[in-house]
Amino acid sequence: MCLLRENRGPGQQPSFKGALILESWPIYRVMGDGTVAPNVVPNELALKIYQDMVLLRTFDEKALNLQRQGRVGTFPPSLGQEATEIGSAHALSKQDWMAPSYRDHGALYVHGVPFENVILFAMGRAGSLAGDVRALPSSIPIATHLPHAVGLAMAARMQGEDAVAIAYFGDGGTSEGDFHEALNFAGVFKAPVIFLCQNNGWAISTPVSRQTGSATLAQKAEAYGIRGRRVDGNDALAVYQVVRESRERALAGHGPTLIEAVTYRLGPHTTADDPTRYRDTEEVGAWRGDRDPIVRLGAYLDQQGILTADDLEKIRVTALEWVNQAVEAAEAMPPVTPLDMFEHVYATMPPRLIQQLQDFEGSDR
């Protein structure tokens, strides 16, 4: 296939004559104009997905306020990406392994981690994971958890378990060596793993056009002999269906899938970020309104007669009550002490740490 590329300046997305590559990697969607896939998500589940998306946004708003008050640390909001997080997590089974990045609070919650535990993580506290939930701790380093997800998938298969692993990461993660190593190993051994890339347009202040020369991120799958899919990341029902199908495919022995969920980060990268310094308001505005994933799913459910105006208000009130209760539960837990830093590092504490602990306990501090 001959590919002709036009010249482009810094920060501009690539423009392809004939759109040959983009036509080869169409975006899968359920909600939208034109030709779309049929919805196969049951009404009850679709409503639950909507409720959890509202809950995640309510949690984000609360966490941002807590951070400004000094009650939690630096926090990465999910504003604008709720459909990808929630829709994908609902497509999994509880026996599946989840390897989240630092922004996937909603996915962790759906998978079974209580919100008070997620808040503990934002506070930098121990106890942020639920022991009976198959989820790794949120990964702050970029893409280092992708090989871990492959290992979990391989282990599940060796144990004869009916389970897959899923790794969440952003578009910036595709520039890391761990991304390539994970996909290569998974491709060679057909590991039952799903790589879910949330392409939100920006890796902090670096646009996608500075991350790759590829027209899509999904097409990178071909280099490793695995399947690639693009999905509308603001269409929760489409995300659910693509992840569900990828899971079934992996369990059937057909190997991994790289999913590029095309979405947009409406808020800052974290509370330490000022996005107005590197992107204009017109770009952000184009992704608000009807393209907002919660507005979009709400309108669709309304059209299907699944959601009413009274339901909307009840969902908002319930979400706020739930989040406030979770915050109260997290803040009611005993405060941390300096001695806590010696815990949760080694199963058996080595002699040098034992000596440091004894020295610390014997000091006046």
Of 202, 171, 176, 197, nearest in space to 11 by CA:
202
Token readout for 209 is: 């056009």
Percent of residues in the chain assigned helix, strand, coil, to nearest 5: 50, 10, 40
| Contacts of residue 161, Cβ cutoff 8 Å, sequence gap at least 6 | 95
Return the DSSP state at 277: G
Of 93, 30, 83, 94, nearest in space to 52 by CA:
83
Residues 149 and 169 sit within 8 Å (Cβ to Cβ): no
**Alpha-carbon gap, residue 243 to 157, rounded angstroms:** 19
Decide if 224 is catalytic. Answer: no
Decide if 269 is catalytic. Answer: yes
Out of 254, 278, 279, 316, which one is annotated catalytic?
A: 278
Decide if 278 is catalytic. Answer: yes
| Contacts of residue 275, Cβ cutoff 8 Å, sequence gap at least 6 | 202, 205, 265, 267, 268, 269, 284
| Catalytic center residues | 265, 269, 278
